[in-house]
Amino acid sequence: MNTHELWQAVLGELELKLSKAHFTTWFRSTFISEYHSGEVIVGVPNSFTQAWLEKKYHREIMEALQNVTDQAVRGLIYRVETKAAMAMPVLLKEEIITIVQPERQQPEDYGFVQTSTQGPQNDAPTGNIAINPNYTFHNFVVGKQNELAHAAAQAVAAQPGGTYNPLFVYGGVGLGKTHLLHAVANEMRRRNPNVRILYVTCEHFTNDFIHSIRIGKGKEFKDRYRNVDLLLVDDIQFITGKEGTQEEFFHTFNTLHQDNRQIVISSDRAPKLIAGLEKRLQSRLEWGMLVDVGTPDLETRIAILQKKCLEKGVALDHEILHYVASAIYSNIRELEGALTKIIAFHQFKNLVPSLESVKPILASFESENTKKTVTPRQLIIVVSEYFDLAVDDLLGKSREKRLAFPRQIIMYLLREEMKNSYPSIGTELGGRDHTTAMHAYTKISDLVGRDDKLQKDIELIKQRLYTS
């Protein structure tokens, strides 16, 4: 094994232990500079990375080196060095071109004071957040609240640059938006290994843009973003208020769209509700297909847990899965987190999981969820009582104003408070179309900031809902 292979093996070990973002941020552009009789010098791109590796990852790197070399490592130090040929060693096995700058974090996050003038801000944004090979359509569990998004994403992967361009996926935290974006990339790559894909978060796009301008590489930036078959932009809501970036993104968008290149975007809300978004960009984002992802229902949450158990090679009783899925309903990331915690706890203690042993582990998750333990049906009843209307009338066909407005309030609260998807809101309200629910949500969100009476009504409804 030469030093390059050795380091690749070490990186392989570390990749398993660290989050993708941290791994790529801290280990890109690192390499073994010297290796003599158990003494290792690791070359790092700047003093910032050097300090970070020393402080945070020294033990892990040491262990990985030991595992890989099968012999004692007597010394390990980090030295600021660049090696042109090693620009992106971490990228080698990734098939997909991606661009990212190191995560921006608060200085206190690092646990030490940054004294060097050299830092991530000054580095060329050549690192990457790779497309996660584990985020595929295959392991995406489909339920009522995400089936439209899932189907649209599949359609896009099968026929990029077609009808659904751009595909705009939006919804709350931890509901699978990023997963779907990566799944499109993985699927397109599977169908055509030569496809050119670029995945960025909005923040990376912004940083990359600003950086390129600063170093006079605006043209390279344009070339990079405009010569791809698929551009994925995650969390576009962060573009708000960044005029230069919006302008640049607008032109990137137009170029790609004209060439029938596929664009897929995610956001935590619909384009209309992204404050400070230029009108012309908003309208572009609405050109293709808008789909939302909502919170999964109980069956879907159980199915997700089952799938994750299968992937992790553990078996949990249905009773336990049911319990976990009932306790955690707002967010799939949390659901996964709870499962991981349960598995780790029992493996560590060498125990067989039971309902009794699982319950205390979930206690910390439950408190965050308590507010949402109301069902859509309860909400409908509370609103009908509040306005003194019959439930059947509220769910019925009549469009009388005395019914239509409370109905819109219900739809708004189902979305705002309970994070239901629009199709499921439509269904709850007597089988209405999802566009009706979208319209209601937009309308009431808009009104609520300006109409004191409405604000008061909603406050009171919420009080009744959560205290009754």
Interacting stretch for Mg ion, rule CB under 5 A, among 147-155, 169-177, 310-318, 366-374? 169-177
Select from ligand ADP, Mg ion, none the partner in contact with residue 332, using the beta carbon and a kind-dependent cut-off of 5 to 8 Å: ligand ADP
Select from Mg ion, ligand ADP, none the partner in contact with residue 173, using the beta carbon and a kind-dependent cut-off of 5 to 8 Å: ligand ADP
CB 165 within 8 A of CB 260: yes
* Binding flag, residue 263, ligand ADP (CB under 6 A): no
In the numeric block, which tokens belong to residue 174? 């931890």
CB 44 within 8 A of CB 78: yes
Residue with tokens 């033990």: 59
Max alpha carbon distance in the chain (Å)?
A: 85
Distances (CA, A) of 346 to 233, 291, 302, 340, 359: 39, 39, 20, 10, 12
Distances (CA, A) of 266 to 146, 200, 233, 239: 14, 11, 6, 12
Shortest gap between Cβ of 246 and Mg ion (angstroms)? Answer: 20
Q: Which of residues 107-146 bind ligand ADP (CB under 6 A)?
A: 135, 139-141, 146
Shortest gap between Cβ of 335 and ligand ADP (angstroms)? Answer: 7
* Binding flag, residue 233, ligand ADP (CB under 6 A): no
Q: Is the peptide bond before 166 cis (omega within 30 degrees of 0)?
A: yes
* Binding flag, residue 175, ligand ADP (CB under 6 A): yes
Shortest gap between Cβ of 454 and Mg ion (angstroms)? Answer: 32
In the numeric block, which tokens belong to residue 281? 């960009």
* Binding flag, residue 128, Mg ion (CB under 5 A): no
User: Which residue is nearest to Mg ion, using beta carbons?
Assistant: 178
CB 111 within 8 A of CB 2: no
CB 14 within 8 A of CB 27: yes
* Binding flag, residue 177, ligand ADP (CB under 6 A): yes
Interacting stretch for ligand ADP, rule CB under 6 A, among 29-37, 59-67, 169-177, 187-195? 169-177
Select from ligand ADP, Mg ion, none the partner in contact with residue 205, using the beta carbon and a kind-dependent cut-off of 5 to 8 Å: none
Q: Which of residues 178-207 bind ligand ADP (CB under 6 A)?
A: 178-179
Q: Given candidates 336, 366, 393, 417, which one binds ligand ADP under the rule CB under 6 A?
A: 336
CB 265 within 8 A of CB 236: yes
Nearest to 221 by CA among 366, 101, 55: 101
Q: Given candidates 176, 271, 353, 426, which one binds ligand ADP under the rule CB under 6 A?
A: 176
The residue ranges that bind Mg ion (CB under 5 A) are: 177-178
Contact footprint for ligand ADP (CB under 6 A): 135, 139-141, 146, 173-179, 304, 332-333, 336
